[in-house]
Copies of this chain bind each other. A is one copy, B any other.
Amino acid sequence: MKEVTLKQIAENLGISITTVSKALKNYPDVSKKTKALVKEEAKKLHYKPNVFAVNLRTKQSKTVGLIIPEVVHHFFSSVVNGIIEHAEKKGYLVIILQSNESYKLEQKQIDLLISKRVDGIMISLASNSTDISHLQEVRDLNIPMVMFDKISKLIDCSKIIINDRKAAYVATKHLIDSGCKRIAHFRGALLPQNSIDRFLGYKKALEDHGIQYDPSLVYICERVDYKDGIEAAKKLMSEHDDIDGLFCITDLVAIGAISVFNDNGIKVPDDISIMGFSNWFISSAITPSLSTIDQPGYKMGKATFKTLLKEMKAKRKELPFKPITKVLETKLVVRNSTK
């Protein structure tokens, strides 16, 4: 049971390997008759080109790499969804790696992808990635790369993002518009740009609407998850009793907070209005359903791959490529956790 190769077909037909190869790829200097013959024989033998040889010869793998902080995560899995669907359509396969929010791992994985010779790399940074020499290496090797969501401004490459600051502004403004006067904010860790930007949007909205910014109303959620939300809410309750609005950096944090309020007889949204962020789909399934900002994960994945594709094409044709930055629209989603 041997592999079917060009050689095999050539021998069967009594012609050269060259002609077989060219016939299968519709080169103009092969007669219609031979083309038909070759194609028929290829089909008969179930010929499939050996990708290993093709890769070696063409110097491309038709494979792209994707690094995300977490796989088990609604937003990122939506991005993955958008990416692999469009990649497959264009004949590319996707290798997925998870940095676990670790800078060290991220660095290793970049090396892995480079040594695997993927045609391009898509990455959303780990929160603690401040050193970016590994990313610079990708640029230096002239490997197409697109960053999305969690990006670094220090690297010159294409970027697909949302305007976190603006979105947070809209979220906070919605709380203000619905009558909230004392609005707390559960923010993320101090370093990640997302966390900073959302905080700044919150602050700006307050200031623009005549509400004094009060640092004691801002709580830090390091891991930005359900438990963080619970703890921050408990702390908030013990330290303040006049809060009527809360903007959380994540739906998950918001859900944690809601559960605390539910347990303590604080009515949402009557006593306190709550905004989440992401529109993780479970936010429509809790009680009360959560008002939030829709973060378009699928679209981001799609745009990320399409941009990478352009860059890969340009590279193959040895054309210059100017990195672009695309800002995707977010949407305010009003449900029952706000008035």
Contact = CB atoms under 8 A, between A and B. Distances in A.
Closest 5 A/B residue pairs (Cβ): A52-B56, A52-B55, A72-B77, A93-B95, A71-B81
- Stoichiometry, as copies per complex, reads 2
A60 to B, nearest CB: 9
B94 A96 contact: yes
A51 B93 contact: no
A105 to B, nearest CB: 9
Interface in A239-276: 252, 255-256, 259, 262-263
Interface in A84-107: 84-85, 88, 93-98
A313 B98 CA distance: 25
A287 interface: yes
A52 B59 CA distance: 8
A112 B93 contact: yes
Contact of A286 (B84, B85, B93, B286): B286
Contacts of A117: 50-52
A17 to B, nearest CB: 16
15 contacts: A48-B114, A49-B115, A50-B56, A51-B115, A63-B116, A71-B77, A71-B80, A72-B80, A81-B98, A93-B97, A93-B112, A95-B96, A226-B281, A259-B285, A259-B287
A154 interface: no
Given A71-B80, A72-B81, A95-B94, A285 B52 contact: no
